[in-house]
Every structure is written in C-alpha cells, then in structure tokens.
Amino acid sequence: MKTFKEKLHIGLNQEIKIKNRLINKKSSFQKIEIFDTLTYGRVLALDGVIQVTEKDEYAYSEMLVHPAMQALSKKAKKILIIGGGDGAVAEEVLKYNDIRSIDLVDIDKEVVDLSKKYFKKINKNSLISKKLNLFYEDAFKFIDKNQNSYDLIIADRPDPIGAGKSLYKSNFYKKIKNIMSESSIAVFQSGVPFLQEKELKEVIKDVKKYFKYYGSYFTVVPSYIGGFMALVWASNNYDLFKKKKFFINKNIKTKYFNKEILNASFAVPNFLKK
C-alpha cells in the first residue's frame, strides 16, 4: 500500500498509509495532494505538508472560531478568513446566523475548487454559501488595499513556507489592525510550540507591537504532529482571556469546543509562560 510521508519537521517524518490517491498536481502556487487514508480519512496536503484531515479538523477549526465568536456574540457581522481554502473554518463561522458576510482570501483558486468537490464532509458546502465572498490573491496584498473593516479576522494560514511566508511578516499584523472594526478580534494559527516554539515567539513579539490585548490558547490536532497547537488572539477592544467566562451559545453544535475545553485551552505551560 502506498504511503504519504510528511517531512515538515527536521528529523521527524510522519508516514501515513494511503488507501487511494485522488489528486496529485501542481497549481501555480504549490503541490496539491488529496488522498484517502486508513487513519485520518481524507487528507489535503500542500507542498507535502498536511493542511486538513477529516479525522481531526474540527479540533482545529472549532477552536480557531468559537472562542472569539462567542466573545463577540452578535457584534460579529463581517468576518475575514485568510487562507482557509478548504472551507473548514468558514463552516464553523456559518453556524452563527447573525453574521452578514464572510470574505475568504485564498491565494490558490485550485485549492478552493478541489475542496468544494472533495471535502464536503469537512466544509458542508460552506464554499458555495451565499454569505461567502471568495477572493483569489495573496492575502498580504488583499489586506493592504482593503478599505473594509472586519469584526473577526481569522488567519487560517499554513506554515511560514512558500506562499504562506507573507502571512508571517512583522507588518502583516499592522495591516490586520488597520482593517479591524472598533469591536474586533483577530486569531492567528501559530504552529505547534514543542517543535515550532520560535514561530509562536515571533507571532507574540509582532502582535504585542500593535495590540493592547493578546495571548495564546491551545488545541490538539493529532495530524499536526508535535503536540498541542498554539492559536494567538489579539484585539484593541477585548481582553479575550478575561471574557473567557462569557456566555456559551448553546445552540452551536460542536464536536470539540465546550465551556471546559474553552477554559482549559487558555492554560499556558511554564516553558511558554515567559
């Protein structure tokens, strides 16, 4: 049986048995692979790095969306998703009826088109929602020329390699700040600290330059090997950490997120406290 070998981390490969290969092509930005596996169900890999799997995507997409959405509650009307071409994060945001629109900016139209077809189980057709506006360009450039203001900005970005590099530049966060409304939160995928501690440190170093409130919280996504994943939040109006005890919207159906998980996710281990 064929295998997929992820070599994202030096000296550490993740090998996954493939049941059948569905897509293996190069777009103008990256190598796109979609395959069904024994362990993780259907998987999307870009430039050889796992992006999303049917098995555990909800532990990631729910935690990227619900803490901030529940803190903002009905104030979250205009949402921006950076990256997110598989539609998993958009699916979580669309669970809130009060939102007016989602702008989703993915550099690669092919990822979106393939995800519409191959990842319906994960995105529940979020990518064809009437509330969703799709833009195909480098999000770094998109936010530069964008005059909108957003109540929630979610950077569902890949690792800082290839096209993803521009979403980790120091002034990326300054540009994000410039398109946030007066009651707004931004959340950034920030790597797995056990293996990418430098990434988390860099994100916090940059975020603290532009935001009054900021912090990290954690989730566990087994296919992003190396232990728990860090998500960084930032805002000039909300201290998400303080609002943690806020109302949990009972009629939002989730498989991972709940009140206990929410509170526990803000606990920071000593090696990351500094």
Closest by CA position to 84, among listed 73, 76, 92: 92
Question: What residue ranges in the chain does DSSP mark as E strands?
Answer: 3-9, 12-26, 31-37, 42-46, 49-53, 78-83, 101-105, 132-135, 150-156, 180-189, 213-219, 229-235
Among 69, 132, 164, 193, binds ligand SAM (CB under 6 A): 164
Nearer to ligand SAM, 189 or 254 (CB): 189
- 94, two tokens: 């669309």
Q: Is residue 138 among the annotated active site residues?
A: no
Among 53, 129, 154, 158, binds ligand SAM (CB under 6 A): 158
* Gap between the Cα atoms of 68 and 64, Å rounded: 8
Answer yes or no whether residue 105 interacts with ligand SAM by CB under 6 A: yes
Minimum distance from residue 145 beta carbon to ligand SAM (Å): 14
Note the helical H segments in 46-108: 57-72, 88-93
Task: Name the CA dihedral angle for 181, 229, 225, 163, rounded to a multiple of 10 degrees.
Answer: 30
| Burial group, residue 138, by CB count within 10 angstroms (0-12, 13-18, 19+) | middle
Residues 185-204 contacting ligand SAM, CB under 6 A:
189
Answer yes or no whether residue 166 interacts with ligand SAM by CB under 6 A: yes
Answer yes or no whether residue 54 interacts with ligand SAM by CB under 6 A: no
Which of 56, 156, 159, 206 is flagged as catalytic? 156
Minimum distance from residue 165 beta carbon to ligand SAM (Å): 8
Nearer to ligand SAM, 126 or 243 (CB): 126
* Gap between the Cα atoms of 138 and 29, Å rounded: 10
Task: Name the CA dihedral angle for 68, 115, 172, 189, rounded to a multiple of 10 degrees.
Answer: 50
Region from 94-102, 133-141, 171-179, 196-204 binding ligand SAM, contact rule CB under 6 A: 133-141
Residues 68-97 contacting ligand SAM, CB under 6 A:
82-86
Answer yes or no whether residue 123 interacts with ligand SAM by CB under 6 A: no
Main-chain dihedrals φ then ψ at residue 74, nearest 5 degrees? -75, -5
Answer yes or no whether residue 107 interacts with ligand SAM by CB under 6 A: yes
Minimum distance from residue 32 beta carbon to ligand SAM (Å): 9
* 181 to 45, 56, 78: CA distances (angstroms): 34, 32, 9
Answer yes or no whether residue 51 interacts with ligand SAM by CB under 6 A: yes
Among 16, 99, 139, 187, binds ligand SAM (CB under 6 A): 139
Q: Which residues bind ligand SAM (CB under 6 A)?
A: 46, 51-52, 60, 82-86, 105-108, 111, 138-140, 156-159, 163-164, 166-167, 189
Give the active site residues: 156
